[in-house]
Amino acid sequence: MRFGLILLCLSAASPASARDPVLSVPLNCTLGLDCYIQNYVDADPSPGAADFTCGTLSYDGHTGTDFALPTVVDMWNGVEVLAAAPGTVTATRDGMDDYPQGVEAAPDVSGKECGNGVVVDHGGGWNTQYCHMMNGSIQVKKGQRVTATTVLGKVGLSGQTQFPHVHLAVRHDGKVVDPFNPEGVISCGPEAISNGTLWNADMNYVPGGLLSIGVSTEMPAYDMVKAGTAGKGQFSTSDPALVVFGFAYGGLAGDIMRLSISGPEGELVGYDAPIEKAQAQLFRGAGKRSPGAWPPGGYRAMVQLIRNDHVIDQRQFDFAITE
């Protein structure tokens, strides 16, 4: 997988103080391949919201960095959460169900919005908190020393969340610090991180992209798309329809999701689906009913996310139709 083709490279610089922590990505994954950043710390002190680049990947009052998985299926495959820096565990919580908020029968998480989680003290007034971890996965105890390779647990859906991720909050003397902009410079774009970050390696800011694509014989339900259970892998000439769909994050008003399917006789589906407003996550689909019988052979589905007339991400799905 690739989450975006337009990247803003952020330099990993020395922290402002010798006692500042140097952080590593807190998931056992590769950013841009099998995980991504959905939200950053809210840098806008007003009732509005903006990430550290003045972009839209945040929401009002957000206090951490959300390292996310593309779908719920990816979560159930098990992705480890790692300590971002050496330190001592000062608090843990486990036992909360993995259940997204905003759906029927969602549990009351008042006072426990972090869900299953861990807090690590790094000394010098610094600590990190890891939220929304999987029920029963916490592997550390209060008072335990950890390194940046220590497994704390697994990514989950506990607490106040609607998608599988770990919310990493970084604090110094109780105050939230954005690890991408620890100095809190009030500016946009690269200037916001001109004084360095707290990360131990170069990071990429991706302003939006595709999480998954697929092909089905009907328009899939959004909950199935988010779960990663939509779409088929095998198709026959008697299928009633072919529908290509794309699941994306960081959509902006004016973006276009271009959806197409081509087969032995050329293009079958070609549609530009507009994105009317900024959306943290979204999906679009387009399809065609069967002409009576699909020609057997090889087919290709393509989804592109287009912003300001430029393709910022694209994926393809090759499949075959058989008798």
* Yes or no: domain 10-201 corresponds to CATH 3.40.50.11750: no
**CB distance 197 to 11 below 8 Å:** yes
Q: Across all residues in the chain, what is the average pLDDT?
A: 92
User: Residue 31 pairs with which residues in a beta bridge?
Assistant: 35
The 10s digit of each residue's pLDDT in 222-270 is 999 999 999 988 999 999 999 999 999 999 999 999 999 999 999 999 9
More confident residue, 246 or 196: 246
Q: Where are the domains of the chain?
A: 10-201, 209-322
The mean-pLDDT minimum among 95-104, 177-186, 241-250 falls in: 177-186
Q: How far does Cα 243 stand from its chain's mean position?
A: 24
CA distance 248 to 283: 6
Q: Which single residue is written with the structure tokens 């499949």?
A: 319
Give me the torsion for CA of 47, 48, 51, 54, rounded to 10°.
-130
* Yes or no: domain 209-322 corresponds to CATH 2.60.40.2550: yes
pTM above 0.75?
yes
Identical fold between 10-201 and 209-322: no
For the residues 276-287, what does the mean pLDDT come to? 96
